[in-house]
Chain A
Amino acid sequence: MTDYAVELCNVTKVFSSGRGAKSEDVYAVKEMNLGIPRGQFFTLLGPSGCGKTTTLRLIAGFETPSSGEIFIQGKPMSKIPPNVRPVNTVFQNYALFPHMNVASNVAFGLAIKRVPRDEQKCIVKEALELVQLADMGKRMPSQLSGGQQQRVALARALVNKPAVLLLDEPLGALDLKLRKAMQIELKHIQEQVGITFVYVTHDQEEALTMSDFIAVMSDGLILQLGDPATLYKKPANKFVADFIGESNFIQGTVDSITQKGTKLRVLDELVTVDAMEVNLAKGQAATFTIRPEKMMLKTKQPVSTEALSGTVQEVIYIGTDTRYIVTLQSGESVVVRVQNGCSPDVEQFSKGDLVKVVWLPDDARLLAD
């Protein structure tokens, strides 16, 4: 399977507290099986403590798996220390060497490999041009801004032409505007250079912006693996649906299972939800999810839509959208986002109005709990 740049086979990483009590062991990564395709911008996404950084460090070689095997370009890495592996890392705090100038920092890996001096100079020049720091070679790291330091760290890693570039939340310390600019720049660089990027972040918007593939992690496990569109439109479970973008969750009981989908009873209304692979039995409690922007408010339910009745609780105007918070008959609240000034048949509502919350059947998903 050498089409994968990185493969994790049944990798587990345990951190024991050292006091012998098994109950205090932390399973950072649990039996992970993952294949990262070559040349892709791959992101590990999840909240703090989900194991994404540990996974990255396992690939880099700074941690060794408690069990399982890691392959890079098809070769097993268990006996190979980090300084020999064909990977390089961009650290969250950049970790630039403070006693060397920018050019020496970037050339560090080359100097270790004893690349001849003039060749080093050439390569460093190219790398600095790639990250748009062309004439900063003689500066010291302490003279650079955060964004510039980050770019030096990137150049320093890239000059070694690694098979895989690991990035550990590199944009975390930058302010919002700079971060957004850097996201696009990083994506371009990856496309230009063609190296596999493995990126770690907790920011779902960042992940959606940059990635070809995303693995959503929680508690040491991969909950869903897919491209941004799939993850957004078809979240596999509540955690993914909640973590990526905004979601509404509505509960009901299974009434019947038909060819078109599963009929759920929400109080005294029935809705049909596309069940996909989720198998539920009659009478079982179930939750389905739908994005706020996929819902509409109407006075009467149009044909070929699903609907639930409710009362408008809040109307919030945010310029581009109007957000309606609607309380359903069951007592649950849903958020409905309506784009302003879009089409003439968008109805306006105010607080206290009785409405029908409406959506197209395709846009709702039943969740496996």
Chain B
Amino acid sequence: MRKCNLPSLGSIYFLVVCAVLYLPILLLIIFSFNNATALVFPLKGFTLQWYGTLFENRELLKAVGNSLMIGFGSSLVATIFGTMGAIAIVRFKLPGRNIFLAVAALPLVIPYVILGVSLLILFNEIGIRLSAFAAGLAHVIISIPYAMLVVASRLVGFPDNLEEAAMDLGASYWGALLRVTIPICSPALLAAFLLCFTISFDEYAIASFLVGTDATLPVYLFSQLRFPTRLPMVVALAAILMTVTMAVMLFTEWLRRVVQSPAKKG
């Protein structure tokens, strides 16, 4: 076969698409260092002042705190529920398995606006105050399917009688889960947690309905978009958030692939 040194049409297209995908992010990062208040070319000099203002911004810091709290909390709960669900759907073939899977996965396809308003109504009816915590409760729902997916896909890579083997050797069923199943899944558990965290941390639509006065970071960001003078600060914030998210996602992908389920040995 002739060795073609010219990049193929497909690879050019791929590069173009990648460039377009990364472009807005890169632009944000570039302009976060720009010594000007408007997002126009040409660049006017390097500055870190916008980053500096972030740390003095009380409201912002409170919003970050809220996002971190509910991010951590909802991810923990979603990972636990997701793991339980994953073990249930992978290891058991009992009636109810498919219904459970369907209901747990449904939030993946229900528009967030519906999830948001339905909870708004419920919380109003039963008297739960609108707060970051309320948004956190909702975030668990949207995160569970992702957690389940990540853990389940690791679990299926292992022989299905490991729990049986552990019980044969004297462990109770729950002991078998703790000593064998969970340790085997541990990279997936971490990956699931991180995935759920990024989902919660970035989530705006549902939070906009449920946070009340406790702004989360995206809600706070959104509220600042009306003020042109605050723009550079928002851009700096956006740059940080996107970079951190990308780093976390890279780490999660590394976790999932390098510590992959081994092929079943015959």
Contacts and interface: CB of A to CB of B under 8 A. Distances in A.
Contact of A98 (B95, B158, B161, B169): B158
Interface residues of A, number: 29
Nearest to B173: A83
16 contacts: A82-B167, A82-B168, A83-B167, A83-B172, A88-B169, A91-B165, A93-B264, A95-B161, A95-B162, A95-B165, A98-B262, A99-B180, A108-B166, A112-B171, A149-B265, A157-B169
* Chain A at the B interface: SS class: loop
A99 B167 contact: no
A236 B240 CA distance: 82
Contact of A95 (B159, B170, B179): B159
A149 B159 CA distance: 14
Nearest to B162: A95
Interface in A69-88: 81-84, 87-88
A357 interface: no
Given A97-B166, A113-B170, 19 more contacts: A82-B168, A83-B168, A83-B175, A87-B168, A88-B168, A91-B164, A95-B162, A95-B164, A97-B162, A99-B180, A99-B184, A108-B171, A108-B179, A109-B169, A141-B265, A142-B262, A146-B266, A149-B265, A160-B170
Interface in B180-227: 180, 183-184
A142 to B, nearest CB: 6
Contact of B171 (A83, A87, A146, A173): A83
Contacts of B168: 60, 62, 82-83, 87-89, 157
Given A98-B184, A146-B265, A112 B161 contact: no
B169 A156 contact: yes
Nearest to B167: A83
A75 B95 CA distance: 34
B169 A112 contact: yes
A144 to B, nearest CB: 9
Interface in A37-88: 60, 62, 81-84, 87-88
Contacts of A173: 266
Contacts of B161: 91, 93, 95
A341 interface: no
A18 interface: yes
Interface in A109-165: 109, 112-113, 141-142, 146, 149, 156-157, 160
Given A18-B95, A146-B265, A109 B170 contact: yes
Nearest to A156: B169
Interface in A96-112: 96-99, 108-109, 112
Contact-residue size bin, chain B (C-beta under 8 Å from the other chain): 20 to 34
Interface string A169-189: 000010000000000000000
Nearest to A159: B169
Contact of A142 (B166, B171, B265): B265
B149 to A, nearest CB: 21
A99 B261 CA distance: 11
A82 B168 CA distance: 6
Q: Specify which of B165, B169, B266 lies most central, judged by the most chain A CB atoms within 10 Å of its CB.
A: B169
A81 B168 CA distance: 9
Contacts of A84: 170
B87 to A, nearest CB: 16
A173 B265 CA distance: 10
Contacts of B172: 83
Nearest to B180: A97
A113 B165 CA distance: 15
Contacts of A99: 180, 183-184
Contacts of B184: 97-99
Contacts of B95: 18
Complex A-B, nearest 10 residue pairs according to Cβ-Cβ distance, in ascending order: A95-B165, A109-B169, A112-B170, A83-B167, A89-B168, A173-B266, A99-B183, A108-B169, A95-B161, A109-B170
A2 to B, nearest CB: 23
A62 B162 CA distance: 13
Contacts of B164: 62, 82, 91, 95
Interface string B224-266: 0000000000000000000000000000000000000010111
